[in-house]
Amino acid sequence: MTISIAVIGDRFMRPDFFRAALEALEGSAAFDIRTMELPWPDEPMHHGYKDGKGLEGLKEYMGEPDRIASFIGDASILINHLAPVTRQMLDRLAGLEMIAVSRGGPVNIDLSAARDRGVKVVNAPGRNASAVAEFTVGAILAETRLIRAGHEALRQGIWRGDLYRADVTGRELSEMTVGIIGYGHIGTRVVRLLKPFGCRLVVCDPYVDLSEQDRRDGVEQTDLDSLLERSDVVTLHARVTPETTGFIGARQFARMRRGSYFINTARGPMVDYDALYEALATRHLAGAMLETFAIEPAPPGWPLLKLDNVTLTPHVAGASIATIRNAAAMMAEEVRRHLAGEPALNPA
Which residues belong to the active site? 267, 296, 315
How far, CA to CA in Å, does 112 sit from each of 81, 90, 118? 18, 11, 10
The C-alpha atoms of residue 160 and residue 162 are separated, in whole angstroms, by 5
Where does 93-160 have alpha helices with state H? Answer: 111-117, 129-144, 147-155
- Identify the CA nearest to 104 among candidates 38, 47, 186, 12: 186
Strands 77-80 and 285-290: unpaired
Q: H or E element: which one contains 212?
A: helix 212-216
The C-alpha atoms of residue 311 and residue 274 are separated, in whole angstroms, by 16
| CB-count burial class (<10 Å; 0-12, 13-18, 19+) for 347 | exposed
Residues whose CB is less than 8 angstroms from the CB of residue 224 and which lie 6 or more positions away in sequence, other chains included? 181, 204, 252
The SS3 of residue 111 is helix
Residues whose CB is less than 8 angstroms from the CB of residue 183 and which lie 6 or more positions away in sequence, other chains included? 191, 203, 204, 205, 208, 210, 221, 237
Quickly list DSSP for 21-58. Answer: HHHTSTTGGGEEEEEEEE-TTTSPPB--TTT--SSTT-
| CB-count burial class (<10 Å; 0-12, 13-18, 19+) for 169 | exposed
Q: How many CA atoms lie within 13 A of 86 on its CB side?
A: 17
- Identify the CA nearest to 237 among candidates 279, 288, 284, 186: 186
The C-alpha atoms of residue 163 and residue 154 are separated, in whole angstroms, by 12
Length, in residues, of the chain: 348
How far, CA to CA in Å, does 283 sit from each of 207, 261, 272, 293? 33, 10, 17, 21
